[in-house]
Structure 1
Amino acid sequence: MGNAAHAESLDHTVYHTPFAVEPSFESWNTPGNYRWGYLGADKLPDQMRVWLVQKTDQEVGGVVARGAGFTDSPDAEVLAPGFNLGKSYGDVGIGRHGNFLQWGYSAPPSQMTEPGRRLFLNGIHYIKKFDGKAPLVRVQSSARTDALGLTRLVNRLSLDDRVISRLPQSLRDKYHSDPRALFFVMTFSESLYDRYHEDPNGLTQYYRENLEWVYRDQVFKVDEELKGLGIDSNRKVESLRRLIELLRDAQHAATAKKLLKRYTDQPFEAPQHWRQWFEENKDRIFFSDVGGYKFFVAPAGYVVDK
């Protein structure tokens, strides 16, 4: 992380309690790397409003967490998106995950700005209320939006020789150990290679059009089985309800059961047990890409954004 944060999330209580955080805002040129990886509908502005958290010679740095998929879980929140060169817009400069305060800035308090110091103290005060509330989800996979970013690299990225050497010989032989070809088939569905390996824009469009059905099982896939059932997303709680209903449909029961196993870790076999579980927990069910493309149940007391 560099020295600045984006002027976002400023209404959060961490900016007001117990100390008032009053940043001085500046307009900085939008980093070129933001434009490359940005997936939003609107175009990014030429300049962005930021404020200095610290004053060091450091302009380039990492991030405390990737933004993609970070807030899948109801116990994770972005407190300050970091301004950074080389990473994506929206990556986390300061965040909370469960009872962990994630502070991505490197400077000691003596090199922080006054607003930075106040936010640091407020963060410590804020995280105390989450004592004992361990994170609900741990990172098991990559967010579906990562597929969109990676599609743009199919003509530029390749696997290194060490990775290639660990691949099955049959796969290496099929693609003549071509590092770019192997990057493609180890990232996306192999069935897409002939159509899209020289068409990154077409590959991006394919995943964009199918984003609600994307999941990751070693590679990024589109769930054609779910689409075939007429279900419009794999991450909506309503989709989970529909799969449980289909367990009583003789024509679709086997597929529904298979998909329930794909998207949950529940051991139920009988439809009535699935229904009972869903009805008891439906207000606390959430879906996480980074948690492994699964539905989870938050403990009592969590507010789950549907």
Structure 2
Amino acid sequence: MKYIFKNIILLVLTTTISISVLGQTKKSDLKILYVGTNPDKPLSERELKYSANPDRKIELQKKRAADFDQFLKQYFNSVTTVYGDDYKETMSANYDVTIIDTYLKHYAGGYEKDSTGQITGYKTRKYLTENFNHATIMIGEPSAFIGQGRQLKIDHLCLCLDAHAHSMKLEHAIFNQPYKVAVTYEDRKTPDNYKARYGGRDLGDTMPMWRIQTEGYQDGKGFPIGLVSTGYGFDNGIDAEWISSGACAKGVEATAIGRHANFFHWGFAAAPEYMTNSAKLTFINAIHYIAPFKGAKQITRKIKGIQLREYLREQQWTVSDKGSEAWLHYLNKDTLQQRITKEKLKKKKDSGKTLNDLEKMQLQSPIRKETREWTIRHEPDSLKQIFKNNWANYENYYKENMPYFYGVKDEWYKVAVDNDAKTLGIPNYKIELLDTAVRMLLKGDRVEIAKRILTKYTQESFESAKDWAKWLKNNRSRLYFSEGDGYKFIMLPN
């Protein structure tokens, strides 16, 4: 299914690019719009609440937009800088690439309140309309808010990305065009949370990483935190591609750099002043790479609240003997660190020093002490009542039903077993399931089961068996199973 990228790649290779000639940089004619934060804008309540060092954050903010402006003008002839409060999405039509490096104002969604002002619900905030199809790079946390509003695979998995990348796809264009990036590795301690998870179960004590930033938030000096999106199901070979992970608290496969449709996620939070030279070139390459995606249509979606199958595989690991042992070992180490942190904060408070809101939360948090029961905390009560503390039954439940799970519509992260597909013995992600259901309809064999399957896993609702057969015959080669779209076979463009 890589064919959709073919024309895009050709455009990337032929688009106007900057080249290095005898050490001199020939600037590109790509027109760049940089959307940054007004240096004089005060920190929001949220930023003040969660910032470990507000003074440092203000200091960095004051020079960030100017830093990016100066950096981009080294590589591009046309660079325009606007502040987020002044940006309107219609501006992007006049540019080849828009770089969003600030929180935008949402135009829809948010908390819903009754006549008394009480919060009654929440709808996902939207920042860019469905018509926005301009080539865009999104930096750090704002990337997730925009992504979730557009049902992109770029989501708010974790604001916990530090200074290093790893597991990069070095064959990708952003490491090779127009500049060849010399990626150098450091052997760094493997994050403990990686080895507790299924994806990192075989990792060693260290792993090779590439330094993106000269400073990270874990250095404890109040540096901005980067953001990773969910890695599970990100790369689909249709309109989304996973490019790199980074050191974070959410596993080895989390997405630090990736693309979905015309949107490019650069999760690292550093301004150019704090980027390594290799990271700077990669960022410039990313601008060239995303430019030809202007006008690209989003094909697949990630509906919020849909539980992906890879999460279920992770849960199968968690309830297994080996997985639970790895998790409890990690949590016990985390408990020790939590005690040390609380002791330091208590001493700081007792000495008369003021704690910020984040430190207050850490001091008030109870010390965790988990047991094997922790591993089944997400299991439905119906299973707990049947299996109780028979741990093997939980793992076997996942092994037996993995091919037949599906996301329950309008139920937050709830999955169920499709007994119809299970009865037929055909995984629900295989197109053979639709073939079998259509044949059943044509033969009058278990018609109700066939209808349930076809309406559950497609976006169609034909009445007659002949119409279903005609539709499947005409579109079979274009059907793609997408868990993010609600466990549906969606049709790819011609």
Question: Normalising to structure 2: TM-score of the pair?
Answer: 0.51
Task: State the Cα deviation string for residues 39-83 of structure 1 (Å, max 9, x = none).
Answer: 47x722332221111121323956431011212461111111222
- Work out which of the residue numbers 280, 291, 305 in structure 1 matches 2:474: 280
CA contact (8 A) 2:174 2:283 kept: no
CA contact (8 A) 2:199 2:252 kept: no
Aligned residue for 1:147?
Answer: 312
Closer, same or farther: CA 199–26 of 1 in aligned 2, 3 Å? farther
- Work out which of the residue numbers 391, 416, 421 in structure 2 matches 1:221: 416
Closer, same or farther: CA 71–272 of 1 in aligned 2, 3 Å? farther
Task: State the Cα deviation string for residues 58-115 of structure 1 (Å, max 9, x = none).
Answer: 239564310112124611111112221x212101000000110011000012211111
1:248 partner SS: helix
Task: State the Cα deviation string for residues 256-302 of structure 1 (Å, max 9, x = none).
Answer: 110111111112222222222222222221111122111111112xx
Aligned residue for 1:34?
Answer: 194
| In 2: Cα distance, 1:194 partner to 1:73 partner | 41
CA contact (8 A) 1:214 1:221 kept: yes
Determine whether 1:289 maps to 2:451.
Answer: no
| In 2: Cα distance, 1:148 partner to 1:196 partner | 19
The structure number with the bigger radius of gyration is: 2
Report matched runs for 1:69-108 at 5 Å.
Answer: 69-72=233-236, 74-84=238-248, 86-108=249-271
- Work out which of the residue numbers 181, 184, 194 in structure 2 matches 1:21: 181
Aligned residue for 1:43?
Answer: 202
Closer, same or farther: CA 95–200 of 1 in aligned 2, 3 Å? farther
CA contact (8 A) 1:72 1:289 kept: no
Closer, same or farther: CA 53–39 of 1 in aligned 2, 3 Å? closer
Task: State the Cα deviation string for residues 231-279 of structure 1 (Å, max 9, x = none).
Answer: 1x11122322222222223232210110111111112222222222222
Closer, same or farther: CA 253–87 of 1 in aligned 2, 3 Å? same
Aligned residue for 1:167?
Answer: none
1:11 partner SS: coil
Unaligned runs of 5+ in 2: 1-160, 220-224, 329-372
Unaligned runs of 5+ in 1: 157-180, 301-306
Closer, same or farther: CA 202–43 of 1 in aligned 2, 3 Å? farther
| In 1: Cα distance, 2:467 partner to 2:228 partner | 40
CA contact (8 A) 2:421 2:433 kept: no
1:208 partner SS: helix
Aligned residue for 1:194?
Answer: 385
Give identity over the alignment, percent.
32
After TM superposition, give the deviation of residue 190 of structure 1 in Å.
Answer: 4.9
| In 2: Cα distance, 1:107 partner to 1:62 partner | 8
Aligned residue for 1:54?
Answer: 213
Report matched runs for 1:162-173 at 5 Å.
Answer: none
Closer, same or farther: CA 29–184 of 1 in aligned 2, 3 Å? closer
Determine whether 1:235 maps to 2:399.
Answer: no
Aligned residue for 1:113?
Answer: 276
CA contact (8 A) 2:163 2:214 kept: yes
Aligned residue for 1:135?
Answer: 298
- Work out which of the residue numbers 448, 457, 473 in structure 2 matches 1:254: 448
Q: In structure 2, what residue type is equivalent to 1:76?
A: A
Which fold has the larger relative contact order, with Cα–Cα distance below 8 Å and residues 6 or more apart in sequence?
A: 1
1:287 partner SS: strand
2:406 partner SS: strand
Closer, same or farther: CA 26–38 of 1 in aligned 2, 3 Å? same
After TM superposition, give the deviation of residue 150 of structure 1 in Å.
Answer: 4.2
Task: Count residues with an aligned counterpart.
Answer: 271
1:59 partner SS: helix
Q: In structure 2, what residue type is equivalent to 1:230?
A: G
Q: In structure 2, what residue type is equivalent to 1:238?
A: E
CA contact (8 A) 2:307 2:415 kept: no
| In 1: Cα distance, 2:442 partner to 2:403 partner | 25
How much is the aligned-residue C-alpha RMSD, in angstroms?
A: 2.7
| In 2: Cα distance, 1:246 partner to 1:87 partner | 44
| In 1: Cα distance, 2:275 partner to 2:396 partner | 43
| In 2: Cα distance, 1:58 partner to 1:130 partner | 32
- Work out which of the residue numbers 8, 11, 14 in structure 1 matches 2:171: 11
Q: In structure 2, what residue type is equivalent to 1:20?
A: K
1:280 partner SS: helix
CA contact (8 A) 1:38 1:89 kept: no
1:92 partner SS: coil
Aligned residue for 2:48?
Answer: none
| In 1: Cα distance, 2:391 partner to 2:239 partner | 36
Aligned residue for 1:304?
Answer: none
Aligned residue for 1:170?
Answer: none
| In 2: Cα distance, 1:201 partner to 1:53 partner | 43
CA contact (8 A) 1:73 1:287 kept: no
Closer, same or farther: CA 250–292 of 1 in aligned 2, 3 Å? same
| In 2: Cα distance, 1:57 partner to 1:132 partner | 35
